[in-house]
Structure 1
Amino acid sequence: MGKHVVVGSGQVGTHLARKLAAQGHEVTVVTRSGSGPAGTTRVAADVADKARLIELTRGADALYNCVNPQYHRWLTDWPPMAGSFLAAAEASGAVYVMLGNLYPYGPVTGPMTEDLPLSSTSAKAQVRARMWHDALAAHEAGRIRTTEVRGSDYFGPGGTDQGYLGDRFLVPLRAGKTIQVPYPVDVPHSWTYLPDVADALIVAGGDERAWGRPWHVPTAEPLSFRQLGERMAAQLGLPAPKVAQIPWALVRAAGLFSPMLGELKHVRYQFTAPYVLDSSAFQRTFGVEPTPIEQALKATLEG
């Protein structure tokens, strides 16, 4: 069994740390608050403190970047943390596994594959693209070993209440009330199941075939907000719910008072046209399939 350092204990980091610990690994969870699941060593530290992260990663087999700064703080928070991760990976020799996302691709036509250019013009997306390019350059120079695992919008047990399929979706669903969402309700969209994200990170960290390139998390077929509501309601024995789009003018107005709502305009393109993740490369290479959607929805409702 090996030593694994998981930085971040949010919706992905918690699943990852639990799975690694269940496999018998020594797991250290690093967060600013010192939180983390039982069965792990929990450490309070500032990830931007390069010397501290190097110390904590000493002797590790893998270092997982599962940090998730608030979206409106990416420009300020990510660069110093990214520098710490690279320094720790180089000093320790640990495989650096980055939890990425799809923002750097920008608007696309057709399914997204890992060979798409990171061509988004968004400043925040460019920060994430730069993080991957810097890590890949260090890998190609022989200084570190790295990979990035990218998923679409998350759902599942332990998901954030603020997510698209969190309490704002589930509470009215269970109550038989109208589900209100900020985007069109009938556009196909890929949704990535949280336990599948954790499994993909573990595979990527332990299999050298994963290193030196990005991968997409195994993800089931795309579903619209309306389809998700119908399938979840059926599992609960409820009639199909009414799903309605909040007028965009109201969303924009609310964004004047809420930094998080104000950021929705940057990702609106992901929901106004089909947004489809192709994860066939990971599935084919590692023999890993996404959790069947009905099973994943059932676990989400029970979680």
Structure 2
Amino acid sequence: MSLHVVVGAGPVGLATAQLLAGRGEHVRLLTRGGRGPDQPGIDRIAADATDPVTLARHAHGAVALYSCGGPAYHRWSTDWPPLGAALIRAAETSGAVLVTTGNLYAYGQVDAPMTERLPARPNTVKGQVRAALWADALAAHQAGRIRTAEVRGSDYLGAGAVSPFTVMVLPKVLAGRRASVPADLDAPHSWTHVADVARTLVAVPADANAWGRPWHVPTAPPQSIRALATRSAELAGAPPARVTTMPAYALRLAGLVNPAAREMTEMQYQLRRPFVLDSSAATAAFGIEPTATDDALRETIQASSAPTVD
């Protein structure tokens, strides 16, 4: 049994902690409030992961450190740098392999399927933040201070997944109501299953050949928002999906009062044009096949329909 430290108990952090514990590993799950599942093998710890001394103490003796948390969308520029620095410091003092849950923002707007070979050319503030985080970790790796890799996925499906589809479309579809989303409804878009993110995160520390580079999470073939909505209604036994395109000005107006909507404005290129991830390298390296979209949708629907427990 080895010690693994997971920072963050969002959908990816939970899936990663539960996967590791299910394999008989010892997991420390760090959140500000000490939340997480009551499961054998998982120690729920209340801690501020931006404090490098605190994080390093909890990472002592760990074989791997997983960055699965993150600040609120509108606080990335201020809150991510200290968290990234604390993660690097904890990896350096503990010797744990640092595996970060990333995304595709650093590539910026591209006109072809995204591979790990693309350079970082962010065209948004949040893309610049993500690019800087990886650059700092990679520099520490190349200097021999730490061992690290980044695991990148597209918009999520699965239990607890938060994406434009799960927030703005799926609840309306399940309720038989019209949904409006600021997107090209027919543009191909990659959707990554949360469980596949966890499987990739866990595979990376065990393979020294995987360190020092990014990996794309094995992801099913792209589907448009319209196709995803249509299939969701079919799987849920709901009325036929009705989805419309929200005009750009409506998103800007919403952003006047809603910080999350305001932050979506600069990311519109991901929804208004094809946004496709090539994950063939990770499938070849780790033997991980992506979860079928229907299965990912079933899990998402079931989680969305489950009663809330206080």
Which interval holds the TM-score relative to the shorter structure?
A: over 0.9
**Structure 1 residue 32 and structure 2 residue 43: aligned?**
no
Q: Secondary structure at the match of 2:121?
A: coil
Q: Give the alignment of 1:6-25 within 5 angstroms.
A: 6-25=6-25
Q: Counterpart in 2 of 1:136?
A: 138
Q: Counterpart in 2 of 1:297?
A: 297
Q: Output the amino acid matched with 1:185.
A: L
The CA RMSD over aligned residues, in Å, is 1.2
Q: Counterpart in 2 of 1:286?
A: 286
TM-score (norm 2): 0.94
Aligned equivalents of 1:293, 1:68: Cα separation in 2: 26
Q: Output the amino acid matched with 1:31.
A: T
Deviating beyond 6 angstroms after TM superposition, the runs of 4 or more aligned structure 1 residues are none
Q: Output the amino acid matched with 1:41.
A: D
- Unaligned runs of at least 5 residues, structure 2: 304-310
Q: Counterpart in 1 of 2:216?
A: 216
Q: Secondary structure at the match of 2:215?
A: strand
CA deviation after TM superposition for structure 1 residue 239, in Å = 4.6
CA deviation after TM superposition for structure 1 residue 238, in Å = 3.9
Q: Counterpart in 2 of 1:121?
A: 123
Q: Counterpart in 1 of 2:308?
A: none
Give the length in aligned residue pairs: 301
2:52 to 50, 53, 59: 50
Q: Counterpart in 2 of 1:261?
A: 261
Q: Counterpart in 2 of 1:59?
A: 61
Aligned equivalents of 2:205, 2:287: Cα separation in 1: 16
Q: Counterpart in 2 of 1:3?
A: 3
TM-score (norm 1): 0.96
Q: Counterpart in 1 of 2:307?
A: none
Q: Contact 2:169 / 2:243 at 8 angstroms: preserved in 1?
A: no
2:82 to 80, 83, 103: 80
- Unaligned runs of at least 5 residues, structure 1: none
Question: CA-to-partner distance for each residue in 1:7-36, whole Å, 9 max, x for gaps?
Answer: 011111011111111111100011111111
CA deviation after TM superposition for structure 1 residue 294, in Å = 1.4
CA deviation after TM superposition for structure 1 residue 170, in Å = 2.5
Aligned equivalents of 1:130, 1:250: Cα separation in 2: 31
CA deviation after TM superposition for structure 1 residue 235, in Å = 1.5
Q: Output the amino acid matched with 1:253.
A: L
Q: Secondary structure at the match of 1:33?
A: coil
Aligned equivalents of 1:110, 1:151: Cα separation in 2: 16
Q: Contact 2:124 / 2:267 at 8 angstroms: preserved in 1?
A: no
Aligned equivalents of 1:164, 1:272: Cα separation in 2: 12
CA deviation after TM superposition for structure 1 residue 166, in Å = 2.3
